[in-house]
Amino acid sequence: MMTPIDYLTKLGLSKKQVKIYLDLATYPESTVVHIHKRIQLPRSSIYLELERLIDNGYVISKKVGKSTFYRISNPKILRLILEEKNEKLQFLTQNLDTFSESIKEFEVAKNTQKTINIYKGQAGIKQLLWNIIISKADLVIGFSPGQLEHVTDRDFAEKWREEFRNLNMHNKIIFNKPAPLTWSDIPNFLEENVEAKTLDEKKIKFDRMILIYKDILTVCSLKTDSDQYGIEIRDDLLVKSYIQMFEFLWNHVAKTLKRL
């Protein structure tokens, strides 16, 4: 058999609220001082919980002179409260799909905001590059004067490639240097995760490594620069422009790199 404590708990009352409610059921028309003496909860806590019980319709209060007296509502009123809660629950359930779609619109709005993050030195460049891994983007495209070792050290570059391969990500890249694909020792990385082409620097010279993924464009200066930096830009129009330029060069100008 369900006890009053069980019922009140199922109703959503906290342990403190249950204690106060049952005390008032036993001793109607009590002040906070009376309740405090009987259940030994701090007065500030009793005041707070009583306000919550009143807001939910479980307790009512009345002022007599300078004192406020509390008592529980007629338990039959609980039926009305539960019916109201049930109506709200039905409404919320019926409109859950609409709510979910509305929330997605907020996320889209957030993602279309323009942001620029600037990174300094090798630590910053590595963070910028690792953000690409964290994104788990299906495709990363870009332009570069050479491979990753042009912007960071060999150990990190190979670690990056290994994680890139493990996540089954794909890279389409246009280089200035017409060297065959031999630069990575990560098994199957060059065969399965990279498509590379070359473009004579006399036509277009890439002084910086530019990588594009999802809606983000990144720019990395070379590690030979005295003050190396990286820039991460979220700008939908700018990214689309660079993607169009990449696709044109990839399809009509750049030449496929040989594999050894």
| Mean pLDDT score, 236-250 | 93
> Does 138 score more than 80 pLDDT?
yes
Residue 250: Cβ-neighbour burial (10 angstroms; 0-12, 13-18, 19+): middle
Ordered by start, the domain boundaries in the chain are 7-74, 113-256
129-133, 197-201, 211-215 — which is least confidently predicted? 197-201
pLDDT at 106: 67
pLDDT at 38: 95
| Mean pLDDT score, 150-178 | 92
- Residue 133: closest CA among 214, 223, 234: 214
Running DSSP on this structure, what letter comes out for residue 177? Answer: S
Residue labelled with tokens 């990560």: 186
Sheet with 194-198, edge to edge strand ranges: 115-120, 229-234, 216-220, 209-213, 139-144, 170-175, 194-198, 255-256
Q: What is the pLDDT of residues 46-67, one digit of tens each?
A: 999 999 999 888 999 998 888 9
For 16, the 3-state DSSP assignment is helix
- One-letter amino acid of 150: H
Distance CA 199, CA 19 (A): 78
The whole model's pTM is what? 0.57
Share of the chain above pLDDT 70, in %: 94
Pick the CATH number of 113-256 from 3.40.640.10, 3.40.50.720, 3.40.50.2000, 3.30.870.10: 3.30.870.10
Q: According to the CATH classification, is domain 7-74 in 3.20.20.10? A: no
| Mean pLDDT score, 204-223 | 94
pLDDT at 111: 55
Mean pLDDT of the chain: 89
Distance CA 244, CA 133 (A): 23
Q: Kindly provide the b/e burial profile for residues 219-248, where b requires at least 16 CB atoms within 10 angstroms of the residue's own CB.
A: bbbbeeeeebbbbbbbbeeebeebeeebee
Instruction: Provide the pLDDT confidence category of residue 179 given band limits of 50, 70 and 90.
Output: low
pLDDT at 107: 61
- Residue 144, Cβ neighbours under 10 Å: how many? 22
Instruction: Provide the pLDDT confidence category of residue 12 given band limits of 50, 70 and 90.
Output: confident
Calculate the CA 167 to chain-centre distance.
20
Distance CA 87, CA 85 (A): 5
**Torsions phi, psi for 41 (to 5 deg):** -90, 150
Higher pLDDT, 196 or 179: 196
Q: What is the pLDDT of residues 19-47, one digit of tens each?
A: 999 999 999 899 999 999 999 999 999 99
Q: What is the pLDDT of residues 104-135, one digit of tens each?
A: 766 655 555 789 999 999 999 999 999 999 99
Distance CA 166, CA 194 (A): 13
